[in-house]
Amino acid sequence: MMFVDSEYKDFRAGVRVFCEAEVAPQAAEADRTQEFKPGYVEKLAQQGYLSIQLPRKYGGREWNTVQYSIIVEELSRVCGATGLMIAAHNSLGVGPICYFGNDEQRERFLLPVTKDGVLIAFGLSEPGAGSDAGGTRSYADRKDDYYLLNGTKSWITSGKSCKFAIGTARTDKSGGVKGISSFVLEKGMEGFTVGKKENKLGCRGSDTAYLHFDDVKVPFANRIGEEGAGFKQFMITLDGGRISIGAMALGLAVGAFEIAAKHAATRKQFGRPIGYFQGIAWKLADMATRIEAARGLIYGASLLKDKKVPFSTESAMAKLFASEVCNFCTFEAVGILGAEGYSEKSPVERMYRDMKLTEIGEGTSEIQRLVIGRAIIKQMMQE
Ligand SMILES: Cc1cc2nc3c(=O)[nH]c(=O)nc-3n(C[C@H](O)[C@H](O)[C@H](O)COP(=O)(O)OP(=O)(O)OC[C@H]3O[C@@H](n4cnc5c(N)ncnc54)[C@H](O)[C@@H]3O)c2cc1C
């Protein structure tokens, strides 16, 4: 996959300049205060990072999925929280409206993204429906010209700071997964409130919150696609989203690796740089090798997505592998830095905490293995 990387050398360099100047310097403070500074999201919007794959017609950049992955990797290399916010907004917030919405919805909800730097959240998880997202209990009761929505969404990225949120709800109580529909919910709708912001282990700059719906009147015009199409829509949405969480994991792994490698070359013990000792050099070799393998899987899934051929198994593999590489690299980086790695003196401490989200969000590692395993069995049964 090195040839893919060389094709995007200049693109990556441009993203890195911005990340070093604007993203890296705020990362530790955002982690400490658990919020991004005013004006920060607007800066990301000006770079086009809120409208990465959005068609030009709506003010977007129309970058391909490899470029999208490079952006999320570079952001996460210096700030995991920013990588998460951008990945969730683009894949899960903008994506469903772009792919399954109509022109009127795209103009209403996507133009403000590029014009005003508006964030869109994705409300799928509920207190009783996590890995089993089809188990949603929120209910949208169809009335004459609106739905009456009741329910709670949990763990929603940018739930507090977003202006719009995609929300899934049951429109047919007996319909199983075919009875789920999706809607665009707007802040300011009566009965739509934001609950407690979560105090998290990592990715602390990115806000995560409950969304509550209490007799919210949702116009028909806010339903995305057909009634009952919600489950299919979010399965497709998550396939794409998993590539971006894989890219986030890759970025954190690269960030931690680079700091560890530099430390190993400069920190002297027993009269020599610690990287001279085989015990440390082998760790760095394993980190670098796994990072390249993860990048290959992410680019592979990205290229398949852009070719519009099935990529569901490949995106699950990319996310599963990259998040486990991220776990390995951030863990080893903390060790290589010794006491410094265990303290706020080094960003690897934050990276190690940020890492765990990549093994949970958009489907845990167990769920990725289920997706991959089921695809293998299905193929075997067809042969
Ligand atoms: C920081 C953060 C941001 C998030 N952002 C969003 C967001 O923007 N929108 C959104 O909708 N959700 C979001 N989530 C929720 C996330 O998608 C869920 O946490 C995730 O899907 C897992 O669900 P759960 O936490 O309820 O765990 P559970 O489903 O309760 O799982 C608990 C454990 O059981 C395992 N498990 C469950 N089922 C199986 C099975 N069949 N086989 C084997 N093991 C199994 C899991 O792998 C896990 O280890 C976010 C979560 C976090 C932490």
Q: Are residues 224 and 249 in the same domain?
A: no
State the closest ligand 1 atom to the C-alpha of 125, by its place in the atom list counted from 1.
Answer: 11
Domain residues for the domain of 186 are 121-228
Q: How far is the CA of 8 from the centre of ligand 1 (A)?
A: 34
Note the pLDDT tens digit of each residue in 48-67.
999 999 999 999 999 999 99
Q: For residues 221 and 214, give the distance between their C-alpha atoms in angstroms, rounded to a whole number.
A: 19
Pocket test for ligand 1, best of 180, 355, 364, 371 (most atoms within 8 A of CB): 364
End-to-end CA distance of the chain: 30
Q: Are residues 71 and 28 in the same domain?
A: yes
Task: Centre a 10 Å sphere on the Cβ of residue 34 and count the other Cβ atoms it contains.
Answer: 17
Class of residue 136 by CB neighbours under 10 A (exposed 0-12, middle 13-18, buried 19+): buried
Number of separate domains in the chain = 3
pLDDT band, very low/low/confident/very high, at 4 (cuts 50, 70, 90): confident
Atom 48 in ligand 1: residue holding the nearest Cα: 364
Q: Are residues 126 and 171 in the same domain?
A: yes
* Contacts with 370 (C-beta within 8 Å, 6 or more apart), sequence order: none
Long-range CB contacts (< 8 A, 24+ apart) of 376-382?
none
pLDDT reported for residue 2: 65
Note the pLDDT tens digit of each residue in 133-187.
999 999 999 999 999 999 999 999 999 999 999 999 999 988 789 999 999 999 9
Note the pLDDT tens digit of each residue in 235-291.
999 999 999 999 999 999 999 999 999 999 999 999 999 999 999 999 999 999 999
Pocket lined around ligand 1, Cβ cut-off 6 Å: 88, 121-125, 130-131, 155-157, 200, 203, 208, 357, 360-364, 366-367, 370
Q: Are residues 219 and 281 in the same domain?
A: no
Q: Are residues 192 and 269 in the same domain?
A: no
Residue showing tokens 């809120």: 50
Q: Are residues 139 and 221 in the same domain?
A: yes
Q: Are residues 174 and 73 in the same domain?
A: no
**Of 108, 11, 7, 115, whose CA–CA distance to 63 is shortest?**
11
Q: Are residues 68 and 188 in the same domain?
A: no
To 5 degrees, how large is the angle CA 345–CA 359–CA 356? 20
Which of 98, 118, 138 lies at the terminal end of a domain, its last residue?
118
Residue 157 sits in a domain whose CATH number is: 2.40.110.10
Q: For residues 108 and 3, give the distance between their C-alpha atoms in angstroms, rounded to a whole number.
A: 40
